Every structure is written in C-alpha cells, then in structure tokens.
A and B are shown apart, each in its own frame.
Chain A
Amino acid sequence: MRQLLILSLSVLALAACEREDREYRANPVTSETEEKIALSPLSAGPSGPTEQRSGLGQQYEENAYHIAQGKRLYIWFNCNGCHAHGGGDSGPPLLDDRWIYGGQIENIVQTIREGRPNGMPSFRGKVPDDQIWQIAAYVRSMGRNVPKPAAPGRNDDMHPGPAEQRRPPGEVMDGGQIPPAAQMPQ
C-alpha cells in the first residue's frame, strides 16, 4: 500500500508541472527563433500563416511566472502609455479579439521586436528577447488566450476591470483597426 503511494508520488514528480517552473536565466533559444517564425505581412488585414510554431511560445504563455513578469514589464516599459491596460488609446486595444498583425504569440513577439507602421516602435536591442516573450505572453493573457491557471490575478492597485484570470477565454481573429489617433497624418 505504502509502496504504491511512493510509486505514484514519484510518477507525479516526474510529470512535474511546467506551468509553475521558474526559468530565470534568459532562454538562449529566444534570440534564435526569428527564422522559425513565419512573418506576418507588414500590413493591416489577414495575417500570414502561423502554422510553423517553435513551441517556445507555449513555454511562455502557459507559464504563470513568465506572464506575471510580462505584466510587470508591460508597465515598466510603458506599454500602457499607448495601449492603456489593454483597452487601447493611441495604440490599438489588446484585450479584444482582433489582431491587425496576427494574434499568436510569435506574431506579437515580432510586433514588439520589429515595430509596426503607424507608431509602434521597434524594441529590438532595447528589450532583451526573453523579456519580449514574457511581455507577449502577458499581452496574450489580456484577452485570456492563455490557460486560466497561468493567467495573472489582480494587481495591488486601482482596478478598471476584472483581472486577466477572470476574463472569459478569448479567440484570435485577424483584422482590427488602427485607432485614428495612431494613424499617420494623410
């Protein structure tokens, strides 16, 4: 009986939970992933294929620690300056289901790293790659495109709406509008 218990415990231990792993050192793979991602076209409208996925994105968007770090970095690097808390301001909203440049984590990483027309700056060389992945994972959690147990809870500050973990699971659709404030002067 007790042996059975020990056996089952050790089996469980082997299947240790990746959702809770805490990877501190930068993942060396992050910076090498560019070529593995199919770039989405650099224009509004339907995004390109996103079938080729490295699996790296999953590591980030299913990990509570990475998403929480992304949430801190989102504020620290002033993403909310344009995108607010996901509702959008001069930048497009992030918590809806419309994605101008693709809503998979690889697309978002690409958007942060390379920048996009009409105002999104490139953070290449400004934000280390693993942090870009963390931020992208957090952005995915805004529309609850990540597993609920990994999505962040509320912050210790004033709250405009429910925390990410309490939002209904979202979908990812191509399209979306660049807010007028962010459009280039014609």
Chain B
Amino acid sequence: MRRIAPALLLLCLPLGGCQHWQSVLNARGPAASTLAHMFWIFVSVLATVWVLTMIALLLALRRRRPEDADPLATNPTTERRMTITISVAIGLTLLTVISLTGLSYAAQKVLFAHKDGALTLLVTGQQWWWKITYEDSQPNRVFTTANEIHIPVGEPVLIKLESSDVIHSFWVPSLTGKMDAITGRQNQIQIQADRPGIYRGQCAEYCGLQHAHMGLIVVAESREDFERWREQQISSAIPPGDEERQRGMEIFMSKPCIMCHQIRGTDAGGKIAPDLTHVGSRRYIAAGTLETTRGNIAAWIVDPHGVKPGVNMPTIQLEPDEVQPLASYLEGLK
C-alpha cells in the first residue's frame, strides 16, 4: 500500500494545485533529470526489497510449532534451511547495495563533471535573501541583482556560492541538487535548464528567523531574451516618467531607504539590502515572498514585519499619502 508512491504522488499533486516549480520530480535540467531517473530506480529497487521483506514477515507469522513444543528445541533441517535462506538473502542485499553504490557513484561523476560555460554568477546568501552578481571580464558589465536569476536555455551556468553571515543552501530542485553557501568558503555548482520556464528555489539550510521566506527564482529563456535582459540590468535606473513617480523618488531619497538600498543612477547607494535598480522588472519581492505589484510593494514597505517578522528591513514612518507614490516609483523601476 505504502509503496505505490508514484500513483499517490500523482493523486496528491492536483489536490494541492501545485505549480511543479519547486519539485524534484519535475526535472527541467540535465542534472535534475539524471537525479529523477536515479530516484525512480532507487524507489523501484527498494520498494521491491520492502515488499519481499514484508511478505516474508507475514508468512513467518503463521504458527508452525505445536502448542506445547519446547521453545529451546530446534529442528536441524529447519535450522539449515533458514541459514541457507538468510545467507542467500544477505547475499542479495549485498549485491543490491553494491549495485546501488555503483550507480550512485556513476551518477555522481556525471553530476559533478563541470562543463565550461560562458556565464559565471556569484550568489551570496544573506539573512534572508540572495544577492546575485553576474560576473564579466569587463568591469562595467558586472551587475548585481537579487533573488532572481536569468539564464539562457541549454547552456551550463557556473554559480559560485558564498555567504555573508550564516550557512545557507542554494537549491533549485527542478535544475539540480543543493549546495551549501558556507561562511568563509566558496562552493561551486552548475545549473542548466533544458526548457524555458520559471523555476523556484529556496534556502535549504536553516538560517534563522526567516529561513522560510528565503526564496529565489530562476528564469530560463532564449539567448536573445537573456541578452536583452542583461543589457537592461546593466543600465542605470530609468528616471521617473510621471509626476507621481517623481514624487515617489523624492520620498525614497529622503527616507531611510537609501541607507541600505542602491538604485544605480540616483543618490541611493546603500549596499546592505537588495539592489533596487530594476526591482520592478523582478517577478517577486521580499525574496520570493510577494509578487511584484504596486499593492504588494506598498504592503511590504508599510509593514515588512507583518510579512516577514524579524526581517532586517525596518518599518519606516510614512505619511499615508506617501505610500502610493513610493510604491509607484519602485514598481516603475523596470
């Protein structure tokens, strides 16, 4: 009963209305596909072992001894038969274990074989968001964003993982397994997407209060779309177009926002919190927690601790009529 996991899984997925975007079994990259295949091999082998063991157990529960038999008495024939059976079973177990180890090692070789890719990212885990830096040989083409990674489809992308505070773990299950970002070390991991799409990831190593809200998304797109996105990200922030946004910008510059946030092309130069130069172009704010809409931005600014209690973003004092322009301004930073 418990072993029909696949069927159960299929049953449960529609129940949850799941979008499959953070699922191990919804593999969208070569590494994740290898892992998903391997998972099903393991599951089928191990489920067979479980079923056989349970059948043996249930058969063993039949009463074979006469009621008044001496518990110390043993029948040499039975003893010999059971010894042989157990030896064979152990032999088979050993064989299973050895082949699974071999399979695992082979998969490991494939998985961790680093291919050369054109793109290298530095991802820094912070409490409780991801800082993402696209490296480039030309310094003026290096840029920083947060919580959203864009990659071209079909190309391996190298990710260097660091942490600026505690240990985090970078995990985008649809693309590959996880890797820790450890204080004082640099780890590397390679991701590759085979199909365009949006894949969600989340910090997988407990990192304090808001560990639950430390998500990121990976957007896999065609090379052209990616290049367009990159050019846009490299550029400075677009100046506000209308009056309301102009006012929003003034509010931003006069408030504590600038102590922590950077908007390239303006006076705001804080480096502590996510770069907001193109925050409006990102799909989520607050590390994959809220969709980027004007309403959500306003809600987040007015009461960040209502969404993520304990987050490092403070509640700032805003007049009621300041919220709307500020949110419009940020939303307009495409």
What residues of chain A have their CB less than 8 Å away from a CB belonging to chain B? 22, 24-26, 31, 72, 76-77, 125-131, 156
Interface size class of B (residues with CB under 8 A): 10 to 19
| Contact for B259 among A31, A72, A77, A156, CB less than 8 A | A77
A-facing residues in B167-217 (Cβ within 8 Å): 183
Q: Which residues of A contact B258 (CB under 8 A)?
A: 126
Query: What is the bound-complex CA distance between A111 and B315, given in angstroms?
Result: 21
Q: Is the beta-carbon distance between B305 and A25 smaller than 8 angstroms?
A: yes
A31-B317, A125-B255, A128-B317 given; A24·B305 CB < 8 A: yes
Query: What is the minimal beta-carbon distance from B77 to any residue of chain A, in angstroms?
Result: 57
Query: What is the bound-complex CA distance between A130 and B317, given in angstroms?
Result: 11
| Contact for B315 among A22, A25, A76, A156, CB less than 8 A | A25
Q: Is the beta-carbon distance between B310 and A128 smaller than 8 angstroms?
A: no
Q: Is the beta-carbon distance between A76 and B260 smaller than 8 angstroms?
A: yes
Q: Which residues of B contact A127 (CB under 8 A)?
A: 256, 259
Query: What is the minimal beta-carbon distance from B231 to any residue of chain A, in angstroms?
Result: 31
A-facing residues in B211-269 (Cβ within 8 Å): 254-256, 258-260
Report the number of A-B residue pairs with Cβ-Cβ less than 8 Å: 38
Q: Chain B: which residue is nearest A78 at the CB level?
A: B259
Give a binary string over B276-313; 1 marks a CB under 8 Å from any A CB, 0 the rest: 00000000000000000000000000010110011110
Query: What is the bound-complex CA distance between A31 and B309, given in angstroms?
Result: 20
Query: What is the bound-complex CA distance between A8 and B325, given in angstroms?
Result: 55
| Contact for B314 among A22, A72, A128, A156, CB less than 8 A | A128
Query: What is the minimal beta-carbon distance from A67 to any residue of chain B, in angstroms?
Result: 15
Given A24-B311, A128-B315, 16 other A-B residues pairs in contact with their CB atoms under 8 A: A22-B310, A24-B310, A25-B305, A25-B306, A25-B315, A26-B314, A26-B315, A31-B317, A72-B312, A76-B259, A125-B255, A128-B316, A128-B317, A130-B314, A131-B256, A156-B183
Q: Which residues of B contact A156 (CB under 8 A)?
A: 183
Query: What is the bound-complex CA distance between A10 and B255, given in angstroms?
Result: 45
Give a binary string over B60-71; 1 marks a CB under 8 Å from any A CB, 0 the rest: 000000000000
Interface check B272, CB cutoff 8 A? yes
Q: Is the beta-carbon distance between B254 and A125 smaller than 8 angstroms?
A: yes
Q: Which residues of A contact B259 (CB under 8 A)?
A: 76-77, 126-127
Query: What is the bound-complex CA distance between A72 and B315, given in angstroms?
Result: 17
Q: Is the beta-carbon distance between B317 and A24 smaller than 8 angstroms?
A: no
Q: Which residues of A contact B305 (CB under 8 A)?
A: 24-26
Q: Chain B: which residue is nearest A127 at the CB level?
A: B256
Query: What is the minimal beta-carbon distance from B183 to any residue of chain A, in angstroms?
Result: 7
Query: What is the bound-complex CA distance between A31 and B254, given in angstroms?
Result: 17
Between A and B, 30 residue pairs with Cβ closer than 8 Å are A22-B310, A24-B305, A24-B309, A24-B311, A25-B305, A25-B306, A25-B309, A25-B315, A31-B317, A72-B312, A76-B260, A76-B272, A77-B259, A125-B255, A125-B256, A126-B256, A126-B258, A126-B259, A127-B256, A127-B259, A128-B256, A128-B314, A128-B315, A128-B316, A128-B317, A129-B317, A130-B314, A130-B315, A131-B256, A156-B183
